[in-house]
Chain A
Amino acid sequence: MRLFVKVALATGLALGASQASAQQAVKVGALYPFSGGLALLGDESFRGLEIAVEERNAAGGLNGKKIELVRGDAVDPNQAVGEARRLTSVEKVSAIFGTYSSSLAIAATQVAQLAGVPYFELGAISDPITERGLKYVFRTNPTSKDFANRMVDSVVEAVAPALNLDPKTLKIGIIHEDSLYGQTVSAFQQTRAKEKGLNLVETLPYSAKSVDLTPVILRLKSAGVDVVLQTSYQNDTVLFFRQMKDQGFKPKAVIGAGGGYSTRDTAQAVGNENIEGALNVDFPQYRTNPQAAPGIDEFVKKYQAKYGIAPRSGHSLTNYMGANVFLDAMAASKDLKADTIRESLLKVDVPLGKTATGWGVKFDEKGQNTRVSPFLMQWQGGELVTVFPPEAAVAKLKTGVGSN
């Protein structure tokens, strides 16, 4: 009997203790690919969230409660579902932040929606994530449609003026790898090019595993294409630039859709002198005018202090910016219920140029941020610098590609 009382007391105490700590902390999930092939940029994305949370905790947390990050490792869509279930049912998190990769986000958001837990997407660009009418799914970053539109609009607003030419006289060629990513972006590009009345002369899909892109390049060359819009991964980007040089194809401009165009590896494999002048549409990188992106320099300093290296890509910055938006909204909703968070998110109204990425914030009914667009960047002297829009630019757009 005595023993029983002791055990009961101990259990009671333990329960009480855990309840007390639960009251002091708000658990939020961080669902990213931390291992496997996507791990590098998954982890880079997570660092932005981690810095935002630490900042918030240092400033007193969410209405006096500490925020506790619970990691979920999503290597593939199956595991994303499993980890989202664990976070919502076992860990009982108040919200999930993620995800970097679109296929992971599409799988995990459904689980969170069923559990009635808000899901905050900070990095995946596939349009359907916020188009399926999931009530508690919100996204701060631009979608693939925004990427495609920015690429086509750049031809009209940035490339043609720099060349002193009427955009309608330029021959446009779209090339893209033929998986979901390339298909989606190029379909939006074709629609936009038609809207803008541009002269689209070639649309060429190819397999990202091609070992020879010479036929694609010869097609572009025979059609006399002036501006190439490419949606690609790393290997095919490298192959395209190398073979473009081999075949002596000299377009007036080449614009990439992030992906293979954004990494330093690509530039090194192609050679800085060959990628010089290549344009790229992507999330804001660090060479952005701080006046259009207040807080960007402070973020880089904090990142350096915490991880001891410069940020490896712009992913951490976009995740940091988005995490702050959602943490603000959570702070504004006292009970942390999904419906109140949704209400306060729909009220958020930040004008353009007032966040660390230079974006504004205004969510539509579907949960997509409408005040965002990726920036136009250019490889200059081995670095990717922002050249458009003018308020975010740190350098002037140069014409020509490579040493041609």
Chain B
Amino acid sequence: MDVLVQLILNGILLGSMYAIISVGLTLIFGIVRVVNFAHGEFLMVGMYAVYLLGTHLGLNPYVSIVPVVILLFVLGALVQRFIIQPLLGADEHIQIFATVGLSTALVNLALLVFGADLYSLTVPSARQAISVGGNTMLVGQIVMFICAVVLVAGLHFFMQTTALGRAIRATAQNRNAALLMGVRVDRVYVFTFGLGAACVGLASALLIPLYPVTPTIGTYFVLTAFVVVVLGGMRSIYGAFAGAMIIGIVDSLSGYYIAPDLKEVVYFAIFILILIFKPTGLFGFGRGTE
């Protein structure tokens, strides 16, 4: 019983990590309609940035959130403006190849600059374990959970109440209609891509105390993030949050009760089942919106 509680807690904390990454991917995937294969590499870039700020300027990773979120926003916006936008009219395979190419280029750039070694930043405060009724959690994990909830709530507020948020939702629902209503769709795309990348910037600052950074760190998280996005219904940030929690808990429980190397089998099986019975994902908008 003790183990079960610990496993569920652990799953929720793991889920909040996936949630922050997946919410960013949902924005790009669901609104700009680009399958961003370089999402994991954005995470890697963010983590190196946090690492450098930490070692050279002595910034605490939680302070680095501000500059790194801005940096990643700019990076995302630039990628959309100069790589994706010229290809918007082209076949979507071409856009996929562009992001795959970007991902490979970024990994190799990191290999060139930092080598294959792993770098880690020691943040004792974030690695402090808190014990609640015999169950342990790390401060860093709890911060991650709070950030995930605040991020989803913040994005909800932004999307519902601001003019830009409405423009984004309009663009997502029908690009041409939005264009006719005077929405500058290309600018919305640039902003949304930047926003998606900025979420990864937040994630990278929160991950640094828990994971060392290597050039391939992005691949550890991004496949799961894609599953979460599709599970959540592609375009819904609440869906992404719920999907991330499901994957996190399933990951944690099946790793213990079945076998650690079979946990992917379990969550992909659940993923396929959900797609069979609800092809639009948990929070999908119905058929045709894919």
Contact = CB atoms under 8 A, between A and B. Distances in A.
A267 B144 CA distance: 26
A239 B260 contact: no
B260 A246 contact: no
A312 B70 CA distance: 38
Interface in B241-284: 251-256, 259-261, 263-264
Contacts, number: 85
A206 B263 CA distance: 9
B62 interface: no
A214 interface: yes
24 contacts: A40-B115, A40-B117, A205-B259, A205-B261, A206-B260, A207-B261, A210-B260, A212-B255, A213-B260, A214-B6, A214-B7, A214-B252, A214-B255, A218-B6, A219-B256, A222-B3, A234-B118, A235-B118, A235-B211, A246-B127, A248-B136, A265-B118, A266-B118, A269-B119
A222 B4 CA distance: 12
A215 interface: yes
A218 B7 contact: yes
B3 A246 contact: no
Interface of B: 3, 6-7, 10, 14, 17, 111, 115-120, 122, 127, 129, 136, 138, 210-212, 214, 217, 219-221, 251-256, 259-261, 263-264
Contacts of A40: 115-117
A235 B212 contact: yes
A269 B256 CA distance: 26
Interface in A199-229: 204-207, 209-216, 218-219, 222
A212 B252 contact: yes
Contacts of A247: 136
A308 interface: no
Contacts of B210: 242
A42 to B, nearest CB: 11
Interface string A173-214: 000001000000000000000000000000011110111111
A268 interface: yes
Going nearest first, the 3 A-B pairs with the smallest beta carbon separation are A215-B255, A206-B260, A215-B256
Contact of B136 (A206, A242, A246): A246
A266 B212 CA distance: 10
Nearest to B137: A246
A214 B120 contact: no
A232 to B, nearest CB: 13
A235 B214 contact: yes
A154 B6 CA distance: 34
Contact of B260 (A215, A222, A235): A215
Interface in A292-330: none
Given A205-B261, A214-B6, A235-B220, 7 more contacts: A204-B259, A204-B261, A206-B261, A211-B17, A218-B7, A219-B260, A242-B127
Nearest to A260: B118
Interface string A234-247: 11001100100011
Nearest to A221: B3
Given A211-B14, A218-B7, A269 B255 contact: no
A246 B128 CA distance: 8
B208 to A, nearest CB: 12
B167 to A, nearest CB: 35
Nearest to A37: B116
A209 B219 contact: yes
B261 A211 contact: no
A239 B211 contact: yes
Given A212-B252, A269-B120, A238 B212 contact: yes
Interface in A78-97: none
Interface in A116-169: none
A219 B251 CA distance: 14
Given A211-B220, A246-B129, A216 B255 contact: yes
B116 A211 contact: no
B1 to A, nearest CB: 12
Contacts of B219: 209
A204 B210 CA distance: 23
A400 interface: no
Contact of B264 (A207, A242, A266): A207
Contacts of B116: 37, 40
Nearest to B122: A271
Contacts of A222: 3
Interface in A315-360: none
B214 A238 contact: no
A402 B7 CA distance: 24
B220 A209 contact: yes
- The listed residue with most A CB atoms (<10 A of its CB), out of B14, B117, B217, B255, is B255
A218 B256 contact: yes
B14 A238 contact: no
B260 A204 contact: yes
A246 B251 contact: no
A207 B129 CA distance: 25
A164 B64 CA distance: 50
A209 B40 CA distance: 13
A98 B125 CA distance: 46
